[in-house]
Structure 1
């Protein structure tokens, strides 16, 4: 056959079908059950968690060319010790080892111990506590009980010093049968301290060590040299409450643990059964040390403990849920040696580790910690609720660690975080230390006692001026009700940063109600604190913030840019060389469609967006009684909650706005000034300037930021007037239809 004929025949044939790629082999599957005792680890004869781990190790060591799955049947896995995975448990190259819920199952790893043997003693129910357990938390039918607590004790009575506290007699502590069961809870600005009483001698209360020394000044170990938030500082104002004394057990839902008798006493809520009472006992439920290509999917984690606060170490809070521990140590004003809380899941030195679709609830400490040089790892699609500490901790506090210990390219995304910091109220929702390439993306965070997302560390200390930290992205998060006023934590923000972070971007977030209703001007939307530099804040929606929508107060925070954001107030210009604001939409009365779209898209799933209310006072004219200094009456109508107006202290001092015509008035927002000068006043709404037929609403106590007053009246003139002697001091007054 000649060449031409052969070529023609070849072209006439249909093209050859390429050989199909070989199908990926099905994963090797091991089956686990709470009561599994078999060594087979199959669906009919499941095994325990530890047996499955060992079987996986054998399979991996023998060579594995496929993924591995460990499927957990539903039920509660009682964890007397953590399940530990290390390098031997890593997925082979190109493959993953997945620990996951069996289809349709809801497995829960629990560190809790049931409390049984209840007997009635008067109004109380009393039960023995197993040896080795010191209950700090108690969950009754899944609901958190409260350690019995009293009211606050002001500094005038409970006077804190470097060595202890006076006031045992007047506070009642001296009369308690066993004061050593109790601890003092003290909050100073952003810090939370919890130290157990050691003894009472007359009027003097002495606390366990090293907790009290680590909470007081003078050690050189308690943070920046300028810090004035120790228990013996001028900013200390009170013991927030003493707790865990039998004499304080007076409210349903409270309990006390008696260390000497080893009993727990509980005052039940109406109709409550005590057949499901759990106390957290085991600290960490899952620990990974150097593991790679491991995925945790769909598992529940409950009742993990946090033992340190119940020891002599106590809880000497520093910031973000970290504490100072140890009786001695290097002097370090940058916080390199602070201790993270215990967590249900700890990943140390991990590579390509994922925690996905997990549920963390009813924990005595934190949810997840990624530390010790963990890289390319993620916490995604998980739910965190009812945690004593924070939800997710990423990274460490050494600004320049060796390469293998740097945190890089980690992700916290699409998680739902609610009601964290239930006990340790200085904790945050998501905390990150010195990280690079971190993504905190499209999480929903709600009901937080302190800051929502905190990235960076080191304050303004020299050791922290050139850290391994850059290119972080905090994007698309929904943060609502951060810095909740009832928890009395101050000086934070919905999003908080520290340190130079070149390339870091904060964008597309919806931040609503941070420190809303506070009495102080220190709750922020985005807070670029302590040396925060080279950060872009762009396209965020920031509303109803107790102080500044953006704060960059420190001169050494340089080259920051805030642009294209939407907010209902104004803020001073950014401090720091090269920092600037450009093209922001401030002092808004209504959010435009573009802002509503950004807010609606934020978070792990769509959530409601709180539209701003029209302000009838914005175009009104303001007057006031005799003015103190240069604070003009119009300062309360300029759309800013930062500028002030202030009267003298003459009897019956007042401020008012003429709306220009009659209006139906629904509510009035009163934003106090920085010195909290407006107190014991009344709100008057009148159709005439003489207020002869005015609607009057009493305003007892201090006005907040803001006090929202329901009026529901017709009027043209709105007045705020002292009922006695004292100043009216306001940063804003908003009148809503």
Structure 2
């Protein structure tokens, strides 16, 4: 009987669409047992995919498909998976598209209800799946915002007084395979841990922030007598170990649940939450993420059998879970070991347009191995546990497995690193010929755009990447160090970073640069960028070869305007036709007196006085070294530089250094007033950023 019913549905479907364009309808009120008509829609993306598969199989011919998606929320029971049989062709593409005026949301989460309000105002809900099946979640979303997992302290950090490591298994790498770390503290910071039950103690973990990275570990033991915390896992990396003065927080235990907005799930499956003012169980939506992956595109690039010509348009994807295992999270630059909510491999001509990815536990979207000719356009990525868009792989790939020709255009990528602070807005690893243009990237804790994944001068296939007309801002805060708005690595022939507007970049200790060519960056051009309000310089080169830095405006760094570090026996970079304006700090800091550079036709102007410190030399003494012989100290005639208006009142002075004005208004997203407005970070974030910068600088 069931078999006959399915056959009838399929025959009805084929009859309806035998002659016309193939349109399949899905709706939250539909059923995957329906035919997929407007009157009898399917219920899921997977149902639509399966209907397309059956049509292809039975009809034996290629046709175009449009999956028309009705408004509403679709609770996903499993990830939406596309394999090699699910692609289209250039002549007959496949599109998953929101109906006109609709804003469908595909959620990988589960609504939590049944809260009761205790006498102390705390909410409590029993979750049977957690009690009986050990379902746990490490993120929680309340009224479309990421709730705070119970932590101590509620604000700020616990400072580490000292650390020692006992190596258990050395292994063959630079860091031990297995080791114990003992973190010591100056005073008793474990008062909230003293009376924990054995069950709750198993859940306690800490987050330690050190240099450009961080570590999540569970706690093995707390020694109240010596004020020490014991943990174990991999040995610390010698180039970025946890050290005295680094900071941590404790989280994920009930005694830390002590302020509004915090939540905790105990081992018995009881979820507790302290509501924010005005919240009631009736006006509050609580969603726990379930699925760790929302979309998976899996082509067979090894056999040149790709998933191709598929479009997603007007769809929101939300509520993916990032599980923190018992081993925690070991330090990993840019959090490249974390997957994405939407993962693609072996894919070509895949496009996401006018989509939204939000409230996810990991990165939003990853064009992984074997992806090419694909794009993300006019999409809104925000409230991210990890980064925004990752392109390529952390290991070099050859042939068709090499990722290239990915376009990111006119996207808003904001408020990331909420679970994994080292994550970045856009990461380009071993990948070439990508174009990242007209995006707004803001409110990340590490780096805005990272390009290249080779440290030093070994061969790199991260070539010809174009980073242009992006607005990158409010990066770093005072959480991590050694970071920048644009960070590059390795040989980069053909790569151009131009016409970007970069501002408000800060770091906890060292770093906080606008443009940062790091280890081995070579043959890259950085031009026509406006960079202002950074901590330690608009520009810093660690080491590299034959880079070009020209026709940029570097303004109002807090400590130094430009830095360089390593001295090498080759031309490191050329620095020409730049305008440098500041009101405090040195002009140059670092190895400028020794490094092999060409530096000329630049303009320097101190709006805060008449002091010009060129790496310990006056301007005249600096010129006598052979640098900046045709450069000037002069007012560039900006309209209102202190208030960040860098348009020119006249071009007479800048003409003397052959500076070519560029239109900074063209950077960032473009389109409707609503779209432009969406790119503006809330005033509360801007104010908080300024506050932490001010407090951080007091400690310098």
TM bucket by the smaller chain? 0.7 to 0.9
Conserved? CA contact 1:39–1:51, under 8 Å:
no
Conserved? CA contact 2:454–2:460, under 8 Å:
no
Give the equivalent residue in structure 2 for 1:434.
430
Give the equivalent residue in structure 1 for 2:239.
228
Q: Does 1:128 align with 2:126?
A: yes
Q: Alignment partner for residue 263 of structure 1, among 250, 267, 270? A: 270
**Cα 1:621/1:287, change in 2 over 3 Å:** closer
SS in 1 for 2:219: strand
Give the equivalent residue in structure 2 for 1:74.
71
Deviation at 1:63, TM superposition (A): 4.1
Q: Does 1:45 align with 2:56?
A: no
Q: Alignment partner for residue 459 of structure 1, among 443, 455, 460? A: 455
Give the equivalent residue in structure 2 for 1:543.
532
Deviation at 1:166, TM superposition (A): 4.8
Conserved? CA contact 2:139–2:322, under 8 Å:
no
Conserved? CA contact 1:255–1:267, under 8 Å:
yes
Q: Does 1:283 align with 2:292?
A: yes
Deviation at 1:573, TM superposition (A): 5.9
Alpha-carbon distance in structure 2 between the residues aligned to 1:396 and 1:30:
35
Alpha-carbon distance in structure 1 between the residues aligned to 2:340 and 2:538:
32
Deviation at 1:243, TM superposition (A): 0.8
Give the equivalent residue in structure 1 for 2:639.
none
Alpha-carbon distance in structure 1 between the residues aligned to 2:334 and 2:696:
30
Per-residue CA deviations over 1:131-179 (Å, capped at 9, x if unaligned) read: 3531211112222210111133322277676403355993223443332
Give the equivalent residue in structure 2 for 1:141.
143
SS in 1 for 2:542: coil
Per-residue CA deviations over 1:347-403 (Å, capped at 9, x if unaligned) read: 11101111111111111112111102111111111101111111111110112x231
Q: Alignment partner for residue 299 of structure 1, among 315, 318, 326? A: 315
Per-residue CA deviations over 1:541-575 (Å, capped at 9, x if unaligned) read: 11111112121122xx1111111111126424686
Give the equivalent residue in structure 1 for 2:28.
34
Conserved? CA contact 2:82–2:298, under 8 Å:
yes
Alpha-carbon distance in structure 2 between the residues aligned to 1:417 and 1:375:
21
Deviation at 1:192, TM superposition (A): 1.3
Q: Alignment partner for residue 314 of structure 1, among 321, 328, 331? A: 328
Deviation at 1:104, TM superposition (A): 1.1
SS in 2 for 1:548: coil
Q: Alignment partner for residue 528 of structure 1, among 508, 514, 517? A: 517
Deviation at 1:268, TM superposition (A): 0.7
Deviation at 1:119, TM superposition (A): 2.0
**Cα 1:93/1:58, change in 2 over 3 Å:** farther
SS in 1 for 2:444: coil
Deviation at 1:345, TM superposition (A): 1.0
**Cα 1:314/1:80, change in 2 over 3 Å:** farther
Alpha-carbon distance in structure 2 between the residues aligned to 1:40 and 1:705:
58
**Cα 1:448/1:505, change in 2 over 3 Å:** same
Q: Which structure has the larger Rg over C-alpha atoms?
A: 1
Q: Alignment partner for residue 92 of structure 1, among 89, 93, 107? A: 89
Per-residue CA deviations over 1:93-131 (Å, capped at 9, x if unaligned) read: 422111111111111110111112212332311112323
Conserved? CA contact 2:581–2:607, under 8 Å:
no
Deviation at 1:514, TM superposition (A): 0.9
Alpha-carbon distance in structure 1 between the residues aligned to 2:450 and 2:21:
39
Conserved? CA contact 1:375–1:410, under 8 Å:
yes
Conserved? CA contact 2:377–2:408, under 8 Å:
yes
Give the equivalent residue in structure 2 for 1:553.
542
Give the equivalent residue in structure 2 for 1:17.
none
Q: Does 1:156 align with 2:147?
A: no
Conserved? CA contact 1:448–1:482, under 8 Å:
yes
Deviation at 1:40, TM superposition (A): 0.9
Q: TM-score, normalised by structure 2?
A: 0.73
SS in 1 for 2:366: strand
Give the equivalent residue in structure 2 for 1:346.
343
Q: Alignment partner for residue 170 of structure 1, among 183, 188, 193? A: 188
Q: Does 1:506 align with 2:497?
A: yes
Alpha-carbon distance in structure 2 between the residues aligned to 1:64 and 1:545:
58
Q: What does 1:684-723 align with in structure 2 at a 5 Å threshold?
A: none
Conserved? CA contact 2:163–2:181, under 8 Å:
no
Alpha-carbon distance in structure 1 between the residues aligned to 2:574 and 2:533:
20
Q: Alignment partner for residue 181 of structure 1, among 203, 216, 220? A: 203
Conserved? CA contact 2:513–2:540, under 8 Å:
yes
Deviation at 1:182, TM superposition (A): 1.4
Deviation at 1:263, TM superposition (A): 1.4
Alpha-carbon distance in structure 1 between the residues aligned to 2:564 and 2:271:
55
Alpha-carbon distance in structure 2 between the residues aligned to 1:375 and 1:67:
21
Conserved? CA contact 1:537–1:561, under 8 Å:
yes
SS in 2 for 1:247: helix
Deviation at 1:445, TM superposition (A): 0.7
Q: TM-score, normalised by structure 1?
A: 0.69
SS in 2 for 1:479: strand
